Amino acid sequence: MDTDLANSPGVTRCGNVEFRWGERTYIMGIVNVSPDSFSGDGVSSVDAAVAQGKRLVSEGAHIIDVGGESTRPGAQPITIEEELRRVLPAIERLTSELPVPVSIDTYKAEVAHRAIAAGARIINDIWGLKRDQRLARVAAEARVPLIITQNQRDSQFNDFFTELMAGIQKSIQLALDAGVEWNNIIVDPGVGFGKTVEQNLEIIRRLAELKALGRPILLGTSRKSFIGDVLGLPTEQRLEGTAATVAIGIANGADIIRVHDVAQMVLVVKMSDAVVRGKTTR
């Protein structure tokens, strides 16, 4: 990666919306159209997906992330055709009825391409271009932001944080080589994706070190199993644990938080931004 590029994250434009990194923390609300979502909040109809998206925006979400394939450990992959059947009708409706950008949570280039054609304006790749590098070309040609997630489910770490950083740097370079604009790259350290409880906690503790990459950081901890492991609580009782990770994540440099419970996290973000950024008005 060209080290000259590793400077202030600047501004990312997404349709008619500007994300001005460093000025505030942005909130990504989750709409799962997969019946086996780990969080238990998956919806099975377009109307339900639209209603959920509208509710999350009314609560304060700046982005709505639509996923059609469960990312929980052990989930069975689905075909491209099935994923398209789940996500396209929801994206078409959401993008026509919401004032905020919609992202597509997929690692498949064909799904991303069709979702962009349906109105999505961000690609969220949970495999960080490991599974389908063509996805970077889709983002480049559409000139849309690409979220690169570090995913370790296919191998184990030998030197955890060094390899985490190197993996993200490699994915950033793949995106740049495919023509993705520097300002359109967002990084996600991939909490929960093949990491141990201790490694997930270390990511949050050392999140500020990812600022060396020069790109905005997305943090997705909402309701994840490491919170349940620490607190001994089931998925539906992890709100306070999620709130703690969000607040500490913002203090350590998170620019976007991806969450299920938008209404509650809006308050956490507002208080955290007041402390960290000196921002007391919205």
Per-domain boundaries in the chain = 19-273
At residue 4, the pLDDT reads: 43
2-11, 27-36, 111-120, 180-189 — which is least confidently predicted? 2-11
Q: What is the pLDDT of residues 229-249, one digit of tens each?
A: 999 999 999 999 999 999 999
Percent of the chain with pLDDT over 90: 87
Give the mean model confidence (pLDDT) for residues 252-271: 98
280 confidence band (pLDDT: 50, 70, 90) = confident
* Local structure of 20: helix, strand or coil: strand
CA distances from 239 to 126, 150, 235, 245 (A): 23, 24, 9, 10
For residue 202, the cross-strand partners are none
- Distance (Å, rounded) from C-alpha 140 to C-alpha 117? 14
- Quick one: pLDDT band at residue 72, thresholds 50, 70, 90? confident
- C-alpha 11/C-alpha 260 separation (Å) is 25
Give dist(CA 116, CA 113) in Å, integer. Answer: 5
Are 121 and 103 in contact by the 8 Å Cβ rule? The answer is: yes
Q: What is the mean pLDDT of residues 30-50?
A: 77
Determine the pLDDT at residue 1. 47
Q: Could you read off the pLDDT of 120-166 as tens digits, one per residue? A: 999 999 999 999 999 999 999 999 999 999 999 989 999 999 999 99
Least confident of 53-57, 168-172, 276-280: 276-280
Confidence check: pLDDT of 2 > 80: no
Q: What is the token pair recorded at 188?
A: 């996600």
Q: How is 26-43 classified by DSSP, letter by letter?
A: EEEEEEE--TT-TTS---
Angle at the Cα of 88 (from 85 to 89), degrees rounded to 5?
A: 90
Contact between 181 and 143 under an 8 Å Cβ cutoff? The reply is yes
Average pLDDT over residues 94-117: 98
pLDDT score at 216: 98
Strand partners, 218: 256
* pLDDT at residue 17 tops 70: yes
Rounded-to-integer distance, Cα 187 and Cα 210, Å: 9
Structure-token pair, residue 227: 């919170």
Query: Rounded mean pLDDT of 105-113?
Result: 98
Give me the active site residues, please. Answer: 224, 258
Topology annotation, domain 19-273: TIM Barrel (3.20.20)
Give the pLDDT score at 7.
52
Burial class (CB in 10 A: 0-12, 13-18, 19+), 209: middle
